[in-house]
Amino acid sequence: MTTIAAAGMATGTERAIGARAPVWTPIPIPAQAPAHDAVAELPGTKLWYWDTGGAGRPVILMHAATHSAAGWVYQQPVLAKAGYRAIGYSRRGYFRSDPGDAADPGYAADDLDHLIGHLKLDRVDLVAAAHGGFFALDYALSYPNKVRSLTIASSLMGVTDADYKAVNDRLRPKFFASLPHEFQELSPSYRAGNPTGLAAWLELEHQAMQGARIYPKVKQPLTWAVLETIEQPTLLLTGESDLYTPPSLLRMQALHMPHAEVATIPEAGHSPYWEQPAVFNQLLLSFLARH
């Protein structure tokens, strides 16, 4: 497993007590690349998306449960500048997307496939955070010929095997689900050192949900045996302070995806794409360039 040093953080030998090191080096949200945004009318739903366009390789960004397509502000301009066609979309019920019928939430993989068809794309690279990883994996299993690569960041993956459930039961007490999302998902270092970034993250969280959360269905059983059949190049990564997917759990996932590249990001929690965007983007661009 690779550990990548976080930008702006001290590495190597600890500084002497009393030495002046920065508490945190915030990375301002960059100016966004020009992009078209619209609501796609798809079978059974209407989904909001943005698209930087162009002839570059399409990279689709799949958001976490606490954010929406609007949360990829650190990745959108970086991918566009690198020559990729960056696309983000909000799942049913998230920012600017139609919630539809909660009793019939549909399949997230089919919604994504309809969006890919609407945009007239061929093969895509999927980059998914947290809950988005469930649906990225399901899409890769359901439509394998349409996926060039997978990047799964800080995701529980939706695996249903008993050994995995037992580990997760040990990791988080029952009251964990009632804690504030920023405590669950952002590292202590980030919350302590970047109040401006914390406020921006919270604003996006409050914007993301427009009502009761919609839980789309998955088409494939997400078990270890099924994950072991995935053949696309895969990057698994997490933050070293992730309370949902700590490095030990990432290693357990990697055991069942032996071809995957694995990396951890220091001083990041469950939102490494937001907390340490320079490091996350470096890992992502390097992975995409190799595949």
Domain boundaries, the chain: 28-290
For residue 213, which phi and psi values (nearest 5 degrees)? -65, 135
pTM over 0.85: yes
Write down the pLDDT at residue 17.
46
Strands 261-265 and 2-3: parallel
- Gap between the Cα atoms of 246 and 253, Å rounded: 11
- Gap between the Cα atoms of 106 and 177, Å rounded: 25
Write down the pLDDT at residue 13.
35
Q: Which residues of the chain have pLDDT under 70?
A: 3-19
Render pLDDT for 11-48 as a digit per residue (tens, 0 to 9): 333 444 456 778 899 999 999 999 999 999 999 999 99
For residue 175, which phi and psi values (nearest 5 degrees)? -75, -10
Residue 146: is it exposed, middle or buried by C-beta count within 10 angstroms (0-12/13-18/19+)?
A: middle
- Gap between the Cα atoms of 175 and 118, Å rounded: 42
CATH of domain 28-290: 3.40.50.1820
